[in-house]
Structure 1
Amino acid sequence: MSRGKSGRAQAAPGGAAGADRSGDSYLPGHGNGGYRVTHYDLELTYRPNTGRLSGRARISAVAEPGAAGEPLSGFSLDLGAFRVDGVLVDGARAARYTHRADKLRIRPARPLPAGTPFTVEVRYVGVPRPVKTRHWGDLGWEQLEDGALVAGQPIGAPSWFPCDDHPADKASYRIEVTAPSPYTVVAAGTLDSCTVGASTTTWVYEHPAPMSSYLATVQIGLYDLVELTDAAVSPVSQRAAVPPRLRERFDHDFARQPRMMAAFEDLFGPYPFDEYAVVVTDDELEVPVEAQTLAIFGANHVDGQRGCERLVAHELAHQWFGNSLSVADWRHIWLNEGFAKYAEWLWSEVSGSLPAATIAARTRARLADQPQDLLVADPGMPRMFDDRVYQRGALTLHALRTVLGDDTFFAVLREWTATHRHATVTTEEFTALAGRRAAQPLDALFTAWLHAPRLPELPGPR
């Protein structure tokens, strides 16, 4: 398959049908070719007592040309083990389809010429099943003790809606969820309306900014809604959904988040979305979960002593690095995780705790005792979320900061987030930008830190 500038796969050569593979170097079976999505409109009804989810997804897309410019005669969406009750193309035209092995393959009544906008409506129902993976466990929609959460990274989105499941295909979203009235629903985006019926409540969230499918999310639980906005510190709207029993501990542990937001805006540039939300589940989670415009923490991450504040910083930083700026291909994962890890160190420094230089030195000393067999810029699919990608990615940034100096380094970060706001990024684009800002060549630094397995020494202070 060939790849377009966006990093998405194009239609397979010699065929008029859209490819049902993305062309991603790590996860080619997730995502599809032949079109690009512009908008998802999801209407969901969830019954927590049975776990049943019924949905109607209306997807707006644009056909892309095949290798020879032929029209799009068929295409596919990623969708888990639901019963599909019908597929329409362009509103009134019933389309032929098959649904096997988590691929919904659709053949419209007439081929779609390149550049043609079209809509697909899929009605489906079932009990969502997480996407099972060998390396990362179960991903996607998960039923909790009392509610549900979505943890989509990297390939969990098809567990709850039909999509083009590749990070480079970013679209706007409208997410409508109807659930029993005692439950609170939080989704990616801004709450547009909340309509209470006889026994259910319908929540509607709008998100006009482009979003990768794995970053879309829905959280359902018996939560108190908490206002975190502190206009005197940061004008960004901030809110939370928290189990009542954890409220006191939460109020202490997240009290400094508005200050953190202000610090990151100073370091990284303006916050890229309209608001930011935090959800704390009443269940324990192994790690917090990133989503666009919100982050999900487990009850075990709220201890009343700010014991997990570095994770609060990490998830907030992902709104810039990973969400607004999304990887064009999963091999560039360090651009998400290395940057968010370094944000932890920056918050430590800004908040009066250990300087980033001290944390970097200690981190390098620990990594020196571990296997040195990983390339940060291309770790391989099984090790995408290896802790060394996070740690060595952060060390790469600290090494760059040391060489460039603070003024130039943070100017690079702000230019990076501004230039690629709501778009996709690659390692090569970042190293090129840093190189343009540097007074000396950076090739040796980036080769050593990103493209060689041996752990380099940290450069000395300027």
Structure 2
Amino acid sequence: MAVQQTAGPDPYFPANGDPRYRVHRYELALDYRPGPNRLSGTARINAIAGRAALTEFQLNLADFKIGRVKVDGRAPHYTHRGGKLRIRPAKAVRAGAAFTVEVQWSGNPKPVNSPWGGLGWEELVDGALVASQPVGAPSWYPCNDRPADKAAYQISITTPSAYQVVAGGRLLTRTTKASTTTWVYEQSAPTSSYLVGLSIGKYQTVLLGDPGLGGVPQHGHIPAHLLPEFSRDFARQPQMMELFQELFGPYPFGEYAVVVTEEELDVPVEAQGLSLFGANHVDGARGSERLVAHELAHQWFGNSVSLADWRHIWLNEGFAKYAEWLWSERSGGPTAQQLAGSAHRLLSSLPQDLVLADPGRKLMFDDRLYQRGGLVLHAVRCAMGDDAFFRMLRGWG
């Protein structure tokens, strides 16, 4: 779902993104070598100027070496410092006109600093992953890093052939040449920059459920030694998909993949058409099943229907929290009413200093925001009744 651009910088991250233009499509051609953690890439970015002519504009990109920049085939003047690639075209881009930016970059990717630790590209013991929410995307590619600027993506990435590349979207081709393999993924649905997911590792791929009869193709990519635990922990994901399509409407993308890494992650990572879990989220006892439901629900709430800016993060997390409760209710666990009561008792004992609709950057991932968001939705459900409430959810997108 396309979101209308907001008029100014994001109130929480004013240094990220440029509202003077919007991107239509990114084409990323990447080469990654896990051993030396070396990334090189070329981006072709198709964009459209806003209501005013562009005499200069910016992309967000971390501290890489820049090899080349072009705007509509011509070399511009540019500077690159502080995570910003400022570009002044040789000729101003007319208001409302389409233009193309090409950027070549290379270096050793690393997370960008944030109040929550490193975000974005994370080098693993044997591979890599991307966990960008909210502002980690520039750690690995140049982008207009604002959640409302959604674009289509094609990602081509070459790695040593021992590794598998998993990205959101449809795998178009996989081509092996000598000791390397190139994977090409297409995500045609408009995607926010932070929701471009990527994982590079050594996995075994399994099919989850039966995609026949109009079902959604669902695949898991797991280290082989974790497959027995994964098979139990994610066994009910196809039923979650069926339930959420009943309650929220058709799944908004073409396919859905989950990856389990060899290493532990503090929290799972949602991306468009893809979720990443740590080895600590797989125990063979369904100990993290609520998180499986939570990340799946983000495909509707957060990914398909996206934020205009980060003040509204509760609309992502409150809906996903409530989806956990709905799954529990439908799968024989505590009802949403019981879980809402537990959340209310918990929150009543905690500080009341969080404004749900504008929590501030410091509190935007506070657990109270998740719980209170779920409570708001449960209150609306109780006031409207189930028929009207779920009709509203199905029309949300």
1:333-376, Cα deviation, whole Å (9 max, x unpaired): 00000000000000000111111100111110111111111111
Q: Which amino acid aligns with 2:62?
A: G
Identical positions, percent: 60
Partner of 1:38: 24
Q: How far, CA to CA, are the matches of 1:234 and 1:261 in structure 2?
A: 12
CA distance in 2 between partners of 1:362 and 1:34 (Å): 45
1:99 aligned to 74, 80, 84, which one? Answer: 80
Whole-Å separation in 2 of the counterparts to 1:234 and 1:348 = 25
Aligned-pair CA distance for 1:7: 5.3
Q: Is the 8 A contact 1:234 1:262 kept in 2?
A: no
3-state SS, counterpart of residue 373 of structure 1: coil
1:276 paired with 2:256, answer yes
Tell me the distance in 2 between the aligned counterparts of 1:414 and 1:383.
29
Alignment of 1:76 with 2:73, yes or no, is no
Partner of 1:142: 122
Question: 1: distance between equivalents of 2:30 and 2:141?
Answer: 9
Instruction: Encode CA deviations 1:291-327: one digit per residue, 9 max, x unaligned.
Output: 0000000000000010000000000000000000001
1:56 aligns with 2:42: yes
Cα distance in 2 for residues equivalent to 1:115 and 1:154: 28
Does the 8 A contact of 1:7 with 1:329 survive in 2?
Answer: no
Q: Distance in 2 between matches of 1:199 and 1:246?
A: 27
Which consecutive aligned stretches of 4+ in structure 1 deviate over 4 angstroms post-superposition? none
> Is 1:332–2:319 an aligned residue pair?
no
Shift, 1:33, TM fit = 2.7
Contact 1:94–1:109 under 8 Å retained in 2: yes
Q: Any residues of structure 2 matched to 1:309-388 within 5 Å, and which?
A: 309-388=289-368
Match of 1:460? none
Alpha-carbon distance in 2 for matches of 1:308, 1:261 = 16
Listed as ranges, the matches of 1:122-161 within 5 Å are 122-134=103-115, 136-161=116-141
Output the CA distance in 2 between the equivalents of 1:274 and 1:328.
Answer: 24
State TM-score, norm by structure 1: 0.84
Give the structure 2 partner of residue 8 of structure 1: 5
Cα distance in structure 1, aligned partners of 2:21 and 2:373: 33
Deviations 1:191-234 (A, max 9, x none): 01000111000000001100000000210001111111324697
SS in 2 for 1:138: coil
Aligned residues: 396
Given that 1:57 and 1:122 are in contact with CA atoms closer than 8 Å, whether structure 2 keeps it comes out as: yes
Do the aligned partners of 1:233 and 1:258 also contact (CA within 8 Å) in 2?
no
Question: How far apart, CA to CA, are the structure 2 residues paired with 1:352 and 1:75?
Answer: 53
Deviation string, structure 1 residues 244-278 (Cα, Å, up to 9, x no partner): 11011001110111111000000000000000000
The alignment partner of 1:124 has SS state of: strand
Counterpart selection for 2:102 from 114, 121, 132: 121
Q: Equivalent residue for 1:306?
A: 286
* C-alpha distance in 1 between matches for 2:174 and 2:236: 29
Structure 1: stretches of 5+ with no match in the other structure: 11-21, 418-462
Q: Indicate the structure whose relative CO is greater, using CA pairs within 8 Å and at least 6 residues apart.
A: 2
Structure with greater Cα Rg: 1
1:25 to 11, 23, 27: 11
Three-state SS of the structure 1 residue aligned to 2:91 is: coil
Please give the secondary structure, in 2, of the residue aligned with 1:327: coil
Gaps of 5+ in 2: none
Q: For the residues of structure 1 that align with 2:211 and 2:106, how far apart are their CA atoms? A: 43
Normalised to the residue count of structure 2, the TM-score between the two structures is: 0.98
2:170 maps to a residue whose letter is T
Contact persistence 1:140–1:155 (CA under 8 A): yes
1:431 paired residue number: none
Distance 1:205 1:97 in 2: 30
Matched, 1:47 2:47: no
